[in-house]
Structure 1
Amino acid sequence: MAEAAVVQALVKIGTTFGEAALQPLKDIIKKEVALLQELPELAKSIGRELDMINSFLMQVRVKIHSTENEVLKRWVVRVRQVAYHVEDIIDEYSYNVALLQEESYLSRMMRATYYGVTFHGIATGLKDVQNDIKQLSDTKTKFAEFFNELHSNTSANTQSHLSHDRSLHTVKEGIVGMTEEVELLNSWLAPNDLTRVVLSVWGLFGLGKTTLVRKVYESVKEQKIFDCYSWIEVPHEYNNDVMLRQLIRDLSQDQSQIPGNLDSMYGSQLVDILCVVLSGRRYLIVLDNVWDADAFHGISSFLIDNGNASRIIITTRTSDVASLAQDTYKLKLKPLGDEAAMELFCRRAFHNKDMKCPPHLKDLCEQIVRKCGGLPSAIYAIGNVLAVREQTEVAWKIMNDQFQCMLEDNPGLGEVRSALSVSILFLPRHLKNCFLYCSLFPQNYRLSRESLVKLWTAEGFITKRGSSTLEEVADEYLMELIRGSLLQLLETDEIGRVAFCKMHDIVRDLALSYSRKEMFGLSDGDLQTDQKEDVRRLSISKCNKSVGSILEFPRLRTFIATNGGAESDLLHSLIQKSKYLAVLELQDSPIDIIPANIGELFNLHYLGLRRTNVKSLPKSIEKLTNLETVDLKYTGVDVLPKEICKLKKLRHLFAEKLIDRNRQVFRYFKGMQLPHGFSHMNEIQTLETVEATKESIELLGKLTALRTLWIENVHRADCIKLFASLSEMENLSSLLVSASDEYEVLNFDAFSPSEMKLQKLIIRGCLENDTFDKLVFKNLGSHIKYLSLSSSRIGNDPFLLLAKNMANLIYLSIRKWCCAEEVAFRKDWFPRLTTLFLGDMKQVHTVVIEPSAVKSLEALYLVSLKAMTAVPRGLELVGSLRKLTVWGQSDDFKLEWKRENWETKLRHVPEIRI
């Protein structure tokens, strides 16, 4: 996995020394620092060498992962160290070049000695790296016999051994907890549909996909339901001709008719033979463990449709490959429930007569099984390991306490390690660092999409793609990890994007072992390492005063404290001893002061102080010219320092103060005033939240790169200038506008962007009756997916205008809205709406839902509609509804609910809260 470090170094070289990056420097290079002229070519030369090393590592990754050869292991470690050294040097180069560009001609002349010494040191460092790479090459030549073994035996068989889930294949007593899945697969194999059908069984590694399909496959084969059968284990580096040959051998009715020279045939020759073999026959083909859709496409067109109900089953870990099947023929496996998991474990661990857990081990068994997270392969393997141990509490407690270490080292758990190893080893190179990064967070941690994309960007993991922002690219990386089942989706936001995800416990444990071995990152339990020079990232989740004394990681890039895991002394120690820090995430920590020497962290890209007790930022923050994200949300900071205007790379600023935690007052949160000079912040994309002052509104007009803006304390008199400024922001996708109080009327007349893809709109304050009939909503309203209105107090029913001009709404929330007594949703209104919230509407007593209205609605919230005495008419016709929450209603409503037996009428709704 040293290629993760190499890839990071290559990304840094590309972004720093690409033509676009160098162009603004050419005049300075010519006139000021002659030494700068040779650095780009030297760095590019190193990049070419590293790229070759990376290609070699990728080619032999399976063998390197499993080798016991110490020469190879040390060589890989040295590659990683060299790559890390390159990253450090380039970060220093980038910082000093940025300083050089910012300074005036006179300042550069006065500091010529400093720059001369600095860039001489950088050049010397790069030349040292060049020598190190030459030594790596010489070592590879000198010990050629060791490296030659990497090129041998890297065939599909090796990969298949790594990738294949075999841990459950020997289960003879039946598959636990998959009765329904077996029945469903068997029903799909029945000749009800006479066309050739592609089925997919998919999900996280170790869920027993292969075992399930093998069980069904062997059963139908024994019953001779199909004319011919083939089971192909598809390796990562598949070969279409190899698979075609196997299909011909497996499916041929008469083996004697298989050409003797089959192995020397290729392409169209093999296709012709396969077509003859399949002609008129009903076949069942299983393509096991398919990673790449191209592996299927390469042979699927030759698997002819005879119109006799032939079937192809694909097992895969990725949703992309699973989508090759029709929606009605896709089966996503889930982890076993507690009862089934315990049953499988007991079958393997206890060989007594009834295969039951002895009473004295029951608690330990439950803890161990819980750590397996419902993965049959892990449960099965750990059950086998414990089956040969003494059935004493002491022996089993050791297994429970050392669970993570056992996963890494115990030979009996090799299948579990192999199943995940292949997922990591064959990850696309742009995803490896992102994946390993997620393992640094605590077990069962809810990973926020919003945080992850900013952290990955700050780390330099994300590279530019077309016209997309780095954050948009990071969003796609996250989706790739979820589609590959390496992260589990927990929750989507109101417009369908990922909100939170997590790592399965065992995936995290094994990924963390990779992180530790590669010095990619360490967590709480690994602080006492003897390789502190190599450690790049550190995550702690417990506030411990003794931690600061051992934090001596001079090359540390990332420090993440979760669950309030850092305090002031630790922060002081960290800043003093880790000058290369790029990420400092301290949210929820009991910190009240940021030391002035934070300005020495020249490489800092991300500063997270959310929900800390910090009351101000030191003036030295102006030195942090690489800062991209500053998170001051819900801190004690009242005023943004003017020095923040010198952070020209700043992309995301969260600076919102919570005034009333119970949100009882209208202005329960308060934005920051933008300091003079903020108009030069050309990179800024996120501002949450700005207080509307005359100066702030004036400055906003120049921040045309904004994508997210929250602004509060808006007065009617501000609206013309404010919305004129907003109209210039073509990239704006999320907007919150909050009035000075709940009676202030907001006027949208000046809001007239020529082009804008506004997706999320939150308005807090009164609106004029014709607001949503204005030209801006007629022209651009179709882009809006999320709309929240609070205290709007408009006089008429706005739903007709909303349905007409915002037909693509997915989320709609209206609170404290005093208008008509009846609210009606007409036929074909809001066809994409999935969530509807209606709250605090004192006059509304009737809600009507016509047939075919809100036909995609999944969640309905009716809160404090105290005049409403009846359940919404037509609600029982909304077949898509999955959640109904009614709160704060009158006694008459509750009586009508019981009298009309609405519980029965809405029996298709899984979750009802009244």
Structure 2
Amino acid sequence: MDCVSVVELLQKYLQSRRYLIVLDDLWSRDSWPLLDNAFVKNNNGSRIIITSRIQTVASLADANREIKLSLLPKEEAWTLFCRKAFARLEDRRCPLDLKTCAERIVDKCRGLPLALVALGSLLSYKEMDEHEWELFYNQLRWQLSNNPELSWVASVLNLSYNDLSCNLKNCFLYCGLFPEDHHIERKRLIRLWIAEGFIEDRGPETTLVDVAACYLKELVNRSLLQVAERNEYGRPKRFQMHDLLREISLSISKKEKFATTWDYPNTGSICDGPRRVFVQKDGNLMQTTQSSTQIRSVVMFVVEVSPSWFKDCYTSFRLLRVLCLRHCDIQKVPDNISNLFNLHYLDLGYTKLKEIPRSIGKLINLQTLYLNGSVLELPSDMTMLTKLQHLRIDVGRFGSSASNKIGRLEHLQTLKNIEANSCIVKKLGCLTRVRSLGIMKVLESYNTDLWTSISRMTVLTSLFVITADRDRDTLDLADLKPLPYLDKLMLSGRLDKGVIPPVFGHFPKLKSLRLSFSGLHEDPLALFSVMFRNLGHLILYRCYDGTKLTFRAGWFPKLKDVYLSSMNELKEIEIEDGAITSLHRLELWGLKSLTSVPQGLMYLRSLQQLCIGSRMSDEFHRRLEGCDRCIVQHIPYIGDP
């Protein structure tokens, strides 16, 4: 029977009936138009329920009829597990000698009902012996893959994995290599994926970063990754993977020789050809890598490493694409690193390095370099890294020779945080692909060259500029041209004449603004309300010497976070009814002259957090706890930041 005949048969059967139809675990929207046609709209109070693990399928429902099931809270998860695991006991309570192990098993399930029921049911048939339960917990990864009574759990979760494209499978497995409960930073993960070669090239109209962002969104929509933290715009900032999904991904990684995690002493020798090694315990890799010639990536999550480890393992590292030594206790760059011609990603951040050798210029394929920490001087040979896209340091100083040649780094997209000099502020204009720039120790004499160079960065989205002396050096933005894509701006230093630069009105996409030590004489909020329609995050730190700030009705409809600090003359914050209607968090620090709680806080029904930092006046604190308490009684959290 063809589809048309089935539809006609269903229509005829349902025509006069009141029906409830459940479409369980729907995987695609493509079949919905045909199904929707089959389900007769007969006004008999019929209902259709669709369940899916994919967000785009769930969006078939109207917004007010979409229910997203959350993971169970810890207490409910414990109750469900005990109900299954101790079903043979009259009170269904966990024996005291098993409680510690049982709690670890429940924690591993992270509130997932499927896992709680499966593991609880299986354990209900085991002896209530502490040693046996500990053994089961330590072998959980093996149990999920090999125990017939748990195979259905792995099968359900494997369905999601098997439905992924090849590129997405690689990205998913990669996420499982990070330590348990680790929050994976979005930007770092995207750059690692690109360095590994996982991201599909979709042509010149779309960057690899944009494609990788789509991959991340897809994994979240399929419930294979969880958003652990969002930034001030509500955009995902960090992710984590459910423990059981991680166990299954590690089993697949080992089986397919995709990667292995070194978790000494539970890991054997890496001699069966995995291409990636993530070291989570014990920094001695020699015994694990000396037999392997296939390693393409080494990512360290340990601090202590042997001084000779890189030399001992070098024969296995010659084809490395990724080397991450973040937080490792190393004081010099291993000598042979400069011979890793295939290296795309090098992270030496937060180590004890004092200098970078000139030989780093030999890494001609390097795309990402992290040097956060104590490295100050950058060798001129850095400018030989012509494929470099991301360079991140704390305060990096180029010598005069390197400054003259920085224009060679024409593929740079991220440059944070370099120290300004008279040469570099001129040459920055050659870096027209930069999207994120941080520059420090800017002198007043650099203004014309700096802002002229920045004007050539037409795709710039994030800009941080800090003066050398906040009292002496002025930021004069007269030579800055409009930046149509800028969404994050931080300026630290006195603004020319103590006024808002007119060019601020040409940042149409700005969402985050931070001003420090600006020397403003007039309330800037009226101008900001006109200039920044999309502003979501505002930080004002020692930037205004007036006595009053006013938020008028209708201003800043998208503003969610406001931070006001160290404006010693500020005596009043006026908030009209209908102003900042989306505000979620307000933070006040060091406003010594503010003695009363702003009356207008009573209008902010969306406000969830009122954070009071140090150096507020005693009178303010007394009134907050006393006569002004009624103004803020609707706010769920009032307290320390």
Bin for the TM-score computed over the shorter chain: over 0.9
Deviations 1:732-773 (A, max 9, x none): 1110011112212200100014x5311111101111357535
- Cα gap change, 1:287/1:629 in structure 2, threshold over 3 Å: closer, same or farther? same
- What does residue 456 of structure 2 align with? 728
For 2:45, give the aligned amino acid.
Answer: A
8 Å contact kept, 2:269–2:288: no
- What does residue 748 of structure 1 align with? 477
SS in 1 for 2:470: coil
- What does residue 419 of structure 1 align with? 156
- Cα gap change, 1:444/1:803 in structure 2, threshold over 3 Å: closer, same or farther? same
For 2:193, give the aligned amino acid.
Answer: W
The Cα of 1:699 is off from its aligned counterpart by 1.3
- What does residue 628 of structure 1 align with? 367
Distance in 2 (alpha carbons) for counterparts of 1:292 and 1:908: 43
8 Å contact kept, 1:733–1:757: yes
- What does residue 698 of structure 1 align with? 426
- What does residue 346 of structure 1 align with? 82
Deviations 1:498-520 (A, max 9, x none): 11110111111111111111111
- What does residue 571 of structure 1 align with? 310
- What does residue 358 of structure 1 align with? 95
- What does residue 73 of structure 2 align with? 337
Deviations 1:116-150 (A, max 9, x none): xxxxxxxxxxxxxxxxxxxxxxxxxxxxxxxxxxx
For 1:797, give the aligned amino acid.
Answer: D
- What does residue 472 of structure 1 align with? 210
- What does residue 101 of structure 1 align with? none
- Cα gap change, 1:503/1:566 in structure 2, threshold over 3 Å: closer, same or farther? farther
- What does residue 367 of structure 1 align with? 104
Matches within 5 A, 1:451-530: 451-466=188-203, 467-525=205-263, 529=268
SS in 2 for 1:539: strand
- What does residue 781 of structure 1 align with? 507
Larger Rg: 1
- Cα gap change, 1:880/1:286 in structure 2, threshold over 3 Å: closer, same or farther? same
Matches within 5 A, 1:236-635: 264-267=1-4, 269-350=5-86, 351-466=88-203, 467-525=205-263, 529=268, 532=271, 534-545=273-284, 547-552=285-290, 553-564=292-303, 566-634=305-373
Distance in 2 (alpha carbons) for counterparts of 1:906 and 1:471: 43
- What does residue 37 of structure 1 align with? none
Distance in 2 (alpha carbons) for counterparts of 1:488 and 1:848: 39
SS in 1 for 2:452: helix
2:595 to 869, 873, 877: 869
For 1:474, give the aligned amino acid.
Answer: A
More strand per residue: 1 or 2? 2
Deviations 1:270-316 (A, max 9, x none): 43343333335433221111122223244224434334433221111
Distance in 1 (alpha carbons) for counterparts of 2:141 and 2:311: 32
Distance in 1 (alpha carbons) for counterparts of 2:159 and 2:574: 55
- Cα gap change, 1:458/1:381 in structure 2, threshold over 3 Å: closer, same or farther? same
8 Å contact kept, 1:595–1:618: no
Distance in 2 (alpha carbons) for counterparts of 1:514 and 1:410: 16
- Cα gap change, 1:361/1:784 in structure 2, threshold over 3 Å: closer, same or farther? same
- Cα gap change, 1:717/1:327 in structure 2, threshold over 3 Å: closer, same or farther? same
8 Å contact kept, 1:716–1:746: yes
- What does residue 814 of structure 1 align with? 540
The answer as to 2:618 corresponding to 1:891 is: yes
The answer as to 2:416 corresponding to 1:679 is: no
- Greater CA drift, 325-334 or 620-629: 325-334
- Cα gap change, 1:325/1:907 in structure 2, threshold over 3 Å: closer, same or farther? farther
Distance in 1 (alpha carbons) for counterparts of 2:49 and 2:633: 35
The answer as to 2:591 corresponding to 1:880 is: no
SS in 1 for 2:416: strand
- Cα gap change, 1:273/1:405 in structure 2, threshold over 3 Å: closer, same or farther? closer
Distance in 1 (alpha carbons) for counterparts of 2:638 and 2:356: 47
8 Å contact kept, 2:82–2:120: yes
8 Å contact kept, 2:498–2:520: no
The answer as to 2:574 corresponding to 1:848 is: yes
- The normalised TM-score by structure 1 is 0.67
Deviations 1:509-551 (A, max 9, x none): 1111111111111002388556625210000122434x33332
For 1:729, give the aligned amino acid.
Answer: M
Q: Which runs of 5+ in 2 are unaligned?
A: none
Deviations 1:855-909 (A, max 9, x none): 111111111112111112221211211222011221111121122362x654543
8 Å contact kept, 1:458–1:582: yes
Distance in 1 (alpha carbons) for counterparts of 2:159 and 2:249: 12
8 Å contact kept, 1:482–1:488: yes
- What does residue 627 of structure 2 align with? 900
8 Å contact kept, 1:541–1:564: no
The Cα of 1:359 is off from its aligned counterpart by 2.0
The Cα of 1:580 is off from its aligned counterpart by 0.9
The Cα of 1:374 is off from its aligned counterpart by 1.4
8 Å contact kept, 1:335–1:376: yes
The answer as to 2:367 corresponding to 1:639 is: no
8 Å contact kept, 1:549–1:573: no
The Cα of 1:337 is off from its aligned counterpart by 2.1
For 2:436, give the aligned amino acid.
Answer: T
8 Å contact kept, 2:378–2:397: no
For 2:131, give the aligned amino acid.
Answer: V
Distance in 2 (alpha carbons) for counterparts of 1:363 and 1:599: 49
- Greater CA drift, 518-527 or 605-614: 518-527
For 2:299, give the aligned amino acid.
Answer: I
- The normalised TM-score by structure 2 is 0.94
Distance in 2 (alpha carbons) for counterparts of 1:530 and 1:574: 13
Deviations 1:80-101 (A, max 9, x none): xxxxxxxxxxxxxxxxxxxxxx
- What does residue 257 of structure 1 align with? none
Flag as ranges the 4+ runs of structure 1 deviating above 4 A: 526-531, 670-674
8 Å contact kept, 1:557–1:583: yes
8 Å contact kept, 1:692–1:711: yes
- Cα gap change, 1:907/1:328 in structure 2, threshold over 3 Å: closer, same or farther? farther
For 2:324, give the aligned amino acid.
Answer: E
For 1:319, give the aligned amino acid.
Answer: Q
8 Å contact kept, 1:462–1:474: yes
8 Å contact kept, 1:575–1:601: no
8 Å contact kept, 2:512–2:536: yes
Q: Which runs of 5+ in 1 are unaligned?
A: 1-263, 658-669
For 1:603, give the aligned amino acid.
Answer: N
Distance in 2 (alpha carbons) for counterparts of 1:591 and 1:376: 44
Task: Count residues in correspondence.
Answer: 632
Distance in 2 (alpha carbons) for counterparts of 1:772 and 1:313: 55
- Cα gap change, 1:479/1:817 in structure 2, threshold over 3 Å: closer, same or farther? same
Deviations 1:363-387 (A, max 9, x none): 2211222222111221211122211
Distance in 1 (alpha carbons) for counterparts of 2:634 and 2:32: 38
Deviations 1:235-260 (A, max 9, x none): xxxxxxxxxxxxxxxxxxxxxxxxxx
For 2:105, give the aligned amino acid.
Answer: I
